[in-house]
Chains A and B, each alone.
Chain A
Amino acid sequence: MKRAAEKDATTVELHVLARAAAPVSAKGAHLDRLMIERIRATAEDDPTLDDAYRHLAACNACRARLADEDVARPLVEAARRRLAPRRGPFIGAAAATVLVLAGVATLFFRGADERVAITQRAFVGTMGGEAGTLDVPLRDLDVEVTVRSVRYPRGALIVVDASGHVLAPARRFERQPEDQLRAVVAPRTFAPHAGKARGLVVLGDEATIARALEAESHVEGSLDAVELALRDGGAYVARIEIESDQQ
């Protein structure tokens, strides 16, 4: 009994040491998948694998792969898909069909433009005593953002700084003739912000835009994070720089 307790004391001491120990840095590159498979397939000691064993003894990431790579790999693939632009469930078969039909369709629908075209125009707004004159400082000009898109019926413009902080309330685009959407922002209202302002043009159907605007109100983090969150909601997102002299 005493010896058993002594044995347990050693095990406990080892675990205490492991918790207190500084992290170890594995030397060399991580093991590739084939080597991991080979180690799994070798049930007994194999001197030709000594370097790999020593790497595993020092590398917790590779040890985790040894135990769980089969489970983790599908998670990585799923994560990659979540980062990729949204696509329909039949994309594999549809892609080939689309490639064949695209050329044919071009012949018959030459006027149809599915691409999103975004333009900006600075102009004198109607606010202030200087409105309507040519002496208005550039910073007091309004900026009109126009989007031409056949595919997306609704849109919103979210103005943020380089860190993703929202500078002004999101504006919905107004529907215009000829598949155009239009929104106007006033850079002077971004104060006290100084410097470049970015715009996130968010396009989609009504439900998608409503979701995006709801998400925008409590988005935190970097500009990339804001954009990622909007895409994750199923919206088309384009990033623009607001053209004003505050830059």
Chain B
Amino acid sequence: MDAFIEAHAALILRLARSFAKTGDPVDPHDVAQDVLVALLHVERAGSFKPARLQSIEGYLRVVVRNAMHRARARGARSGRPGLERDVAECTELAAAMPSPEDVTEGALDARRRLEAIKERLRPRDAMVFAMLVEDGMSLEEVTRALKTTPNNVYQIRHRILNVARELLGKKGAADKLEPADREAP
């Protein structure tokens, strides 16, 4: 039960944090929880079909961003949650978002190039590639998430850049990197 929520709660929280601004009066954890309540409600109603969405992250991004806007607008007036609007939006957006058939050729080509790089990497390096490049995490964040050393993540990043340069047409450049060029881990 609630399998979708179990799998995507952390992603929702990450998106809420990404929309929070410095000094924001709205706590991203509160916004994430509002969205979770709304999605739980929609999921239990049985009307939510995530498989029909082109991108679950794209869908959640819009839902979370709008919930954040509403929370900001509501914050100064009262603490009453606007769940009814969140629930309605989750349902409406699910119907309105693009389906998998709507992907453009350019987007598919970019995806193919990224996947080609990942294919060439060791499995663990491919995972770190996704964290650094697709999720935009910093070296420190990856180090914390994997409970490893900064040096280990730095070495993986070096291997990633070698493969990327080779496949993106800049072969050999990474091999010439001097220690002084390296970013501090």
Whole-angstrom distance between the Cβ of A58 and the nearest chain B Cβ: 7
Which residue of B45, B134, B135, B148 contacts A224 across the interface (Cβ within 8 Å)?
A: B45
> B24 an interface residue at 8 Å Cβ cutoff?
no
**Contact with A7, one of B89, B113, B129, B181 (Cβ below 8 angstroms):** B181
Are A228 and B110 CB-contacts (below 8 A) given A60-B57, A73-B9, A75-B32? Answer: no
CB of B11 within 8 A of CB of A222, answer no
Would you call B26 an interface residue if the criterion is a C-beta within 8 Å of the partner chain's C-beta atoms?
Answer: no
- Cβ of B184 under 8 Å from chain A: no
Contact residues in A for B133 (Cβ distance below 8 Å) = 14-15, 17-18
* Complex CA distance for A61 and B8, rounded to whole angstroms: 5
User: Which residues of B sit under 8 angstroms from A219, Cβ to Cβ?
Assistant: 84
Q: Does B168 contact A (CB under 8 A)?
A: yes
Distance between Cα atoms of A233 and B82 in the complex (Å): 11
A50-80, CB < 8 A from B: 50-51, 53-54, 56-58, 60-69, 71-73, 75-76, 78-80
Asked, given contacts A71-B13, A220-B85, A222-B87, whether A10 binds B33 with beta carbons under 8 Å apart, the answer is no
Q: Contacts A58-B130, A83-B37 given; indicate if A17 touches B5 (C-beta within 8 A).
A: no
Instruction: Indicate if the CB atoms of A17 and B114 lie closer than 8 Å.
Output: yes
Q: Does B91 contact A (CB under 8 A)?
A: yes
Q: In this assembly, does A226 line the interface, its C-beta being within 8 Å of a C-beta of chain B?
A: yes
List the A residue with the shortest CB-CB distance to B39: A79
> What separation, in Å, do the CA atoms of A232 and B2 have in the docked complex?
20
Q: Known A23-B57, A63-B131; judge A40-B12 contact (CB<8 A).
A: no
Q: How many residues of B contact A (CB 8 A)?
A: 78
- Return the contact of A23 from the options B45, B58, B81 (Cβ within 8 A): B58
State whether B37 touches A50 (Cβ < 8 A).
no
Q: Which residues on A sit within 8 Å (CB–CB) of B123?
A: 49-51, 53-54, 57
Q: Chain A residue with minimal CB distance to B123?
A: A53
**Does A45 lie at the interface of the complex (its beta carbon under 8 Å from any beta carbon of B)?**
yes
B residues 51-65 in Cβ contact with A at 8 Å: 54-58
B residues near A (Cβ < 8 Å) are 2, 5-14, 29, 32-33, 36-37, 40-41, 44-45, 54-58, 80-81, 83-85, 87-89, 91, 103-104, 106-108, 110-111, 113-115, 117-118, 122-124, 126-127, 129-131, 133-137, 141, 144-149, 152, 161, 164-165, 168, 170, 173-174, 176-178, 181
20 more A-B residue pairs beyond the given contacts A14-B117, A56-B127, A79-B37, with a C-beta to C-beta distance below 8 A:
A13-B168, A14-B164, A22-B110, A23-B55, A30-B7, A43-B147, A45-B122, A57-B130, A63-B130, A64-B8, A67-B144, A68-B14, A72-B13, A75-B9, A75-B36, A215-B80, A221-B91, A222-B91, A225-B83, A229-B84
24 inter-chain pairs at a CB distance below 8 angstroms, sorted by A residue, are A20-B107, A21-B111, A21-B113, A23-B103, A51-B123, A57-B129, A60-B135, A63-B127, A64-B14, A64-B135, A72-B10, A75-B33, A76-B2, A76-B9, A76-B36, A78-B33, A79-B5, A79-B33, A79-B36, A80-B40, A225-B41, A225-B87, A228-B87, A233-B80
